[in-house]
Amino acid sequence: MNFDRNTVIGFVLLALLFFGFFYFNNQEQARVLKNKAIKDSIENASKPKIKVDPSVQKSDTSHLSTVQIANATGQFQKAMIGSEQLATFENDLVKVTFTNKGGQIRSVELKNFKDQQKNLVKLASSDFDKIDYKIKADSGQVGNITDFYFTPGTVIAKGDSVQTITYTLGDSSGRSITHEFVLRKDDYMIDFNVKLNKANTFLDNDVMNLQWQYRARKQEKDLSYERTNSQMGYVMDGDFDYYTIGRRSDVQFAKPVQWVAMRQRFFNGILVAKDNFSGGKMEWNSPNDSATVVQSTATLQHVAKGSDVTIPLSIYYGPSDFNLLKKYDNQMGKLVNLGQGIYAFVRPINKFIVLPVYDFFSRLVGSYGIAILLLTFVIRLLISPLTYTSYLSGAKMKVLRPEIEKLKAKHGGDQQAMSMDQMKLFKEAGVNPLGGCIPALLQIPIFFALYSFFNSNVHLRGQNFLWANDLSAYDSILSWNNIPVISSILGNHLSLFTITACLTSFLISLYSMSMTPDQSNPVLKYMPYFFPIFLLFIFNRLPAALTWYYTVSNLVTLGLQFVIQNYIINHDKILAKMDENRKKPKSKSKWQERFEQMQEQQKKLKDMQAKGKR
């Protein structure tokens, strides 16, 4: 890579793009969370204080009076008094615990994933998590389904492939509600069938108003970074859309909805209606605590016409794995951020190149760090035509150094005359002044593709490599308490892979500058050295997988530059070809003619101003 004026401009643009991208994301997230904290504090201060008697169990409604129960439930009043009973079933991927309180899922444990305390990751396991809807009693009063104790369910297994558990709630009039859950072998998706006998007596206007509450608990070591990489998503009328947490707090569904989801970087909660919800809304927020990423409430309508009705739903609590989610179809794979929003153009790069190559190498070698190393080699091979063009341009610039030095001595401080003669020299030598910066700029999509890929790849989570104990997070070798100035721009730690990435970037700058003409402009001269400093602040919070990739890529660049410049590119042949080009008649493009005319006019104007002063 050469560092003429245009190259440096390209380098500066690259640095500004990186810095602007990460700075905007972090500042916007911080601003939204700060405003949310202020708003929540005001709301909490205005709420009346309620004292909770610790002797009262949340799973027991026996503290309610008989009149309260009768008014709310009619013949279902007995079902509001009881005790919670749990049941479980599991496969090789999950362990699901059910409760007869509301006849629903109590918690889900993922067997292949550990939290920061080395326990199994738990999803939908808080008191906030539930699926609720209102039913009418025979008296016309309304109650929530989660207030009722269903008949304790029994797990029924069909071989080792399918397990079913059924909860039932009924009264003496023959009305009944059944919740049926089905779990299949090697599957995270749980079928949830709501069966209503005499449905028209339970629902108003043949519509069930279903409420799904989901709380995403902190699973990674950096809560703010986890929130930045979390989002809600949905498919409405066949189209997928999403909103990043912090950028918006609600969405209205005016058309049929196939599913709604909340993703917390590496794990998803998804509620699916197999025959669509007719509409609704979803709201979410990030509470002011250090244990919750986001909590959401989706209120969805489902048409349930007829007397005996079955509402077929499915619930997914599991990893945000592209290969896994795309098997369920219905665009669930788009929840995985392989490139979204203004960066959607990099999604095909990840989907058809990066992901298949990475999966192949990870299965082949069994080490995710080595797989990233091999992936780097493949990517560098694919972009080798671009890099070779850059190195060839650098070699030509190296050959031109003596000629450029002569022009500097000839023109002294006359930069305009120097620029005109330098352009002529480049034309004679067949050198493209943009040859160094264009390949660098064209590699920007690759960087953003890998940024999305390594941030969203759940299989990197918890994987060790060299000194890094988790390739999906930063590899901290030094930590400190909050230091106002340093922590605000660098964080409270220092990543070793970030240091290696910055050092190798600095070595590339040194090597490249050693082969190019001396730059008289001090800003352009020293700007390439500032780029590694930009990287230090930008990369320090990024996953170790990404900074490891960048380190390897830089080492490959250094090696290729040295080998190509010293053993492949023949400088004598380049010089001979340049001499041959000088002898050929030159045709000028209209742009070149206009540019030279403009330079000549500026030179004449400058000469006239100089004479006037004399």
498-521 tens-digit pLDDT = 999 989 988 887 776 666 555 555
What confidence score (pLDDT) does residue 401 get?
A: 73
CA distance 244 to 29: 10
What confidence score (pLDDT) does residue 420 get?
A: 73
What confidence score (pLDDT) does residue 489 get?
A: 72
Amino acid, single-letter form, for residue 579: D
What confidence score (pLDDT) does residue 64 get?
A: 45
Q: What stretches of 157-206 show up as alpha helix (H) in DSSP?
A: none
* DSSP β-bridge partners for residue 498: none
pLDDT band at 171 (very low <50, low <70, confident <90, very high): confident
Among 200-204, 209-213, 294-298, the minimum mean pLDDT is found in 200-204
What confidence score (pLDDT) does residue 54 get?
A: 36
Q: How many CB atoms lie within 10 A of CB 111?
A: 13
Give me 559's structure tokens: 């090696």
Percent of the chain clearing pLDDT 90 (strictly above) = 38
Among 2-11, 172-181, 560-569, the minimum mean pLDDT is found in 2-11
Q: In this model, does residue 204 exceed pLDDT 70? A: yes
> How does 280-312 read in b/e, with b if 16+ C-beta sit within 10 Å?
bebebbbeeeeebbbbbbbbbbbbbeeeebebe
CA distance 214 to 272: 14
CA distance 326 to 86: 32
Span 554-576, average pLDDT: 77
Q: Which of 528, 396, 562, 402 is nearest to 9 (CA)?
A: 528
Q: In this model, does residue 299 exceed pLDDT 60? A: yes
Q: How many CB atoms lie within 10 A of CB 114?
A: 14
What confidence score (pLDDT) does residue 116 get?
A: 87
What confidence score (pLDDT) does residue 62 get?
A: 43
- Of 368 and 35, the structure prediction assigns the larger pLDDT to 368
What's the mean pLDDT when you consider all of the chain? Answer: 79
Q: In this model, does residue 184 exceed pLDDT 50? A: yes
Q: Which domains does the chain have, with CATH numbers?
A: 5-18+346-594 (no CATH), 52-336 (2.70.98.90)
Span 559-577, average pLDDT: 74
CA distance 519 to 436: 15
Among 109-118, 446-455, 475-484, 567-576, the minimum mean pLDDT is found in 567-576
CA distance 55 to 63: 11
pLDDT band at 69 (very low <50, low <70, confident <90, very high): very low
What confidence score (pLDDT) does residue 490 get?
A: 75
pLDDT in tens, 230-247: 999 999 999 999 998 878
pLDDT band at 525 (very low <50, low <70, confident <90, very high): low
Q: Which residues contact 554 (CB under 8 A, 6 or more apart)?
A: 501, 504, 505, 507, 508
Q: Which of 62, 291, 308 is nearest to 178 (CA)?
A: 308
Span 9-23, average pLDDT: 53
pLDDT band at 202 (very low <50, low <70, confident <90, very high): confident
**Tally of helices (H runs) and strands (E runs) in the chain:** 17, 21
Q: In this model, does residue 3 exceed pLDDT 50? A: no
pLDDT band at 126 (very low <50, low <70, confident <90, very high): very high
Q: What is the pTM of this model?
A: 0.78
pLDDT band at 112 (very low <50, low <70, confident <90, very high): very high
pLDDT band at 34 (very low <50, low <70, confident <90, very high): low
Q: In this model, does residue 117 exceed pLDDT 80? A: yes
